């Protein structure tokens, strides 16, 4: 490839925008930021990052719209690429003229990622298309069934993308690049897995290169860059999770000095809060304590949020986190039924999960509780237990999702073995809010949709009530009395109990 062709375009495919043009992924994806920053530091390639799922001035994403008219719009946008979002993708490819297009794919946006690959080939048939991300990491060579993908990357991509670009630039055989699948003389070849990056401190800070590499950087809200991670890997082995296929169960930590240095850089850019994107914040109480001490001592007045595990929640730990600036926590409760929790290998009971919710709230920390319904072993009785737990949970927001068996996970194999997944399984139809989801052995699809529609409405009402509480709490008790909203909130609570 000549010097003018050393142009890499990294693409986050559209997903939310397919449901509604004004929906948006209002963030700079961390994977994109790390890849772009690494390529910029370690190669001579010109790199640009394009989040095709972003629009300025977006509107909040509503679950009920996605499961209703939005789902049909989503399907139509996958079948017909004449809409605004696809025209934008075409024009971006034409303007950037990349020699290589790198596409990040999760199972839920794999169909859109394949369309991006095809549009890249239509723009220039000589463009090399590379797909990375969780989906190819979990299914490997299967992604190569898409004829427009030249190379698939498995596992961590920072080292692999550099080696790939250097091999492409020098016209070398790709067989020496670990962690990939690629086409060679009509065959699909697979190389050995790539080694894990042991020194995470060697990685770049994604926000540093963002002003230069991210297309439409100036249109992003400051909060789009607040996401960071302190570790990679998760020691747990939840039945439905594919994280261990990407990061493995070995936990690797960044040094607290490296983490706080990145935070200080974000603070200099005007950010007052960050969110730790770790699968589980801290993993161990020792690491939580060390990191909280460093944040408290070196990142003054920082507010931060994270996701943690039920077993890590106790009074001492919550006090330490609150004192270091933690204002919000995401916690997986998942099910209100202990047999379901055991089958999912969550490692806690519903009683322990609800106690953890109370402990978090007792320390004045906002709580977003995750619940999931529709597990293979789900019955109407176990689903009712989850609805009851959703009502009981002391939290500020409920995030509700439907069990989704993603290819490459243990859950997917279970569903296939038990006849819950057909041979013609179309991954584009299923995601955590999809109305097409039903993988229950004991509830038929029509009844399941009827039940979960009620759960969706209950979750929306509970969240609306909590938003009202926060608004009027900020207004003060006198203003609340003047507006007469306390009685409205009580009536809404009664409505939840009656209608679900």
- Encode pLDDT of 212-241 as tens digits: 999 999 999 999 999 999 999 888 888 888
Residue 260: phi, psi to the nearest 5? -70, -30
Distance CA 493, CA 476 (A): 21
pLDDT at 496: 46
- The low-confidence residues of the chain, meaning pLDDT below 70, are 1-4, 470-500
Distance CA 259, CA 238 (A): 27
Do residues 213 and 46 make contact, with C-beta atoms less than 8 angstroms apart? no
Strands (E) in 185-268, as ranges, are: 187-190, 227-228, 231-232, 252-253
- Taking each continuous run of H as one helix and of E as one strand, the counts in the chain are 20, 15
H, E, C per residue of 72-97: HHHHHHHHCCCCHHHHHHHHHHHHHC
Say what the pTM is.
Answer: 0.91
pLDDT at 236: 83
């Amino acid at each position: 490839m000549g010097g003018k062709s050393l142009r890499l375009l990294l693409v986050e495919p559209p997903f939310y925008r397919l449901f509604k043009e004004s929906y948006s992924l209002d963030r700079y994806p961390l994977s994109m930021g790390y890849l772009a920053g690494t390529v910029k530091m370690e190669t001579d390639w010109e790199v640009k990052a394009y989040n095709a799922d972003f629009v300025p001035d977006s509107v909040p994403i509503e679950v009920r719209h996605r499961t209703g008219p939005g789902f049909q719009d989503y399907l139509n946008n996958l079948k017909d690429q004449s809409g605004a979002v696809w025209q934008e993708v075409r024009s971006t490819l034409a303007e950037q003229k990349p020699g290589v297009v790198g596409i990040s794919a999760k199972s839920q946006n794999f169909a859109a990622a394949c369309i991006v690959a095809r549009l890249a080939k239509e723009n220039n048939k000589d463009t090399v298309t590379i797909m990375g991300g969780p989906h190819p990491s979990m299914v490997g060579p299967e992604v190569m069934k898409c004829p427009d993908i030249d190379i698939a990357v498995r596992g961590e991509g920072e080292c692999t993308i550099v080696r790939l670009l250097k091999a492409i630039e020098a016209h070398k055989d790709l067989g020496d690049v670990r962690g990939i699948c690629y086409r060679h003389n009509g065959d699909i070849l697979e190389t050995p897995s790539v080694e894990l990056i042991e020194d995470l401190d060697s990685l770049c800070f994604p926000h540093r290169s963002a002003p230069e590499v991210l297309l439409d950087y100036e249109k992003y809200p400051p909060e789009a860059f607040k996401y960071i991670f302190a570790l990679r890997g998760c020691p747990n082995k939840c039945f439905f999770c594919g994280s261990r296929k990407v990061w493995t169960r070995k936990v690797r930590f960044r040094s607290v000095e490296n983490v706080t240095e990145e935070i200080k850089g974000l603070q200099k850019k005007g950010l007052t809060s960050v969110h730790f994107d770790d699968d589980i914040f801290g993993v161990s109480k020792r690491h939580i304590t060390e990191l909280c001490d460093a944040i408290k001592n070196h990142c003054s007045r920082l507010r931060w949020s994270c996701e943690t595990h039920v077993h890590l929640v106790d009074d001492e730990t919550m006090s330490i986190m609150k004192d270091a600036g933690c204002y919000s926590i995401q916690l997986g409760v998942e099910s209100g039924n202990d047999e379901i929790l055991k089958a999912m290998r969550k490692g806690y009971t519903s009683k322990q999960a609800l106690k953890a919710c109370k402990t978090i709230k007792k320390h004045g920390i906002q709580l977003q509780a995750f619940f999931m319904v529709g597990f293979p072993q789900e019955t109407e009785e176990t689903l009712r237990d989850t609805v009851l737990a959703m009502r009981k949970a002391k939290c500020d927001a409920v995030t509700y999702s439907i069990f989704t068996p993603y290819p490459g996970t243990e859950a997917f194999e279970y569903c296939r073995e038990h006849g819950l997944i057909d041979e013609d399984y179309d991954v584009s139809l299923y995601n955590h809010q999809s109305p097409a989801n039903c993988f229950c052995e004991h509830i038929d699809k029509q009844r399941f949709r009827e039940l979960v529609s009620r759960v969706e409405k209950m979750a929306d009402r509970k969240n609306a009530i909590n938003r009202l509480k926060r608004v009027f709490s900020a207004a003060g008790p006198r203003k609340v009395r003047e507006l007469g909203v306390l009685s409205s909130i009580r009536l809404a609570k009664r409505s939840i109990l009656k209608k679900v």
